[in-house]
Amino acid sequence: MEDVREVRVDTPWGDPSAPVAIGSVGERPVAFLPRHGQKHQFPSHRVNYRANVWAMKEVGVRRLFGPCAAGSLQPHVKPGEFVICDQLVDRTSGRPSTFYDGPETTHVSFADPYCPTMRDALIAKGHELGIPLHVQGTVVVVEGPRFSTRAESHLYAIQGWEVINMTQSPEAVLARELEICYSNISLITDYDVGVAGKIEAVSQEEVIRVFQDNLGRLRDLLLAVVPELPEERDCPCATALATARFEA
């Protein structure tokens, strides 16, 4: 990112996790906001997702990448690999997860939570860069901060779901509610406890090493994808509110 400056954004929902860094990648203006704060002081269940997504809208963001560290629920989804998720299952509880608490009633379509245009671009560039990635996957979002029990994890795994994480919800739906395109890149750091088969437990050191390697790849992928996205949006995310309002 070049020509970076930081801006503080006030929102009706309180403070975002940090000031927004604004700069450019090639010709494209970009903004960055660390979801967990500059010192990683906000755990997943305490992140002010509404303030974060609102702040991005406020500075003009139309497409939002929401990368995250994640666990694998399937043996074939290995640590070090990326998953470009196409579905999510929300198992969080008690998180403010809408901008629309009334009196105007708004129900956005969320059948496909991730932007098809962004997903296609990520997959194409990821392949080009030789990044080991899965072109689809379902992420189960758990409340945390604790990890899952073996029984919970096994329940998710036998559904065939691939990824487990603590931040994709409500971030994804809040973006949809503001007609911002949203996509996920899950960086798989380890296997969750309910994965079937004889899989050796990884050490915390190994998890950190895998994560650091992934960060470099993630950066390469984002820098390559941003200039490739079409200027105009013809995806459903761009007009999500057109059919979402019900008049009394």
Single out the residue of 25, 89, 135, 235 in contact with Zn ion (rule: CB under 5 A).
235
> Nearer to Zn ion by C-beta: 53 or 115?
115
Q: Rounded to an integer, what distance in angstroms lies between the CA atom of residue 222 and that of residue 226?
A: 6
Catalytic-residue membership of 15: no
Binding-residue pattern over the window 156 to 195 for Zn ion, x denoting contact by CB under 5 A: -------------------------x--------------
* Minimum distance of Zn ion from residue 85's CB (angstroms): 15
- Is 237 an interacting residue with respect to Zn ion (CB under 5 A)? yes
How far apart (Å, rounded) are the C-alpha atoms in residues 230 and 69?
Answer: 27
**Residue 115 touching Zn ion (CB under 5 A):** yes
β-sheet with 133-134: strand ranges across = 87-91, 138-142, 163-165, 63-72, 181-191, 82-83, 133-134
Going along 166-219, which residue ranges are E strands?
181-191
Asked whether 40 and 162 are in contact (CB, 8 A), the reply is: no
Least distance from Zn ion to the Cβ atom of residue 237, Å: 3
- Residue number, 47 or 237, with CB nearest to Zn ion: 237
Q: Which two tokens stand for residue 159?
A: 């559904």
Task: Give the residue with the Cβ less far from Zn ion, 181 or 193.
Answer: 181
* Strand, coil or helix: 20: strand
Per CB under 5 A, residues contacting Zn ion are: 115, 181, 235, 237
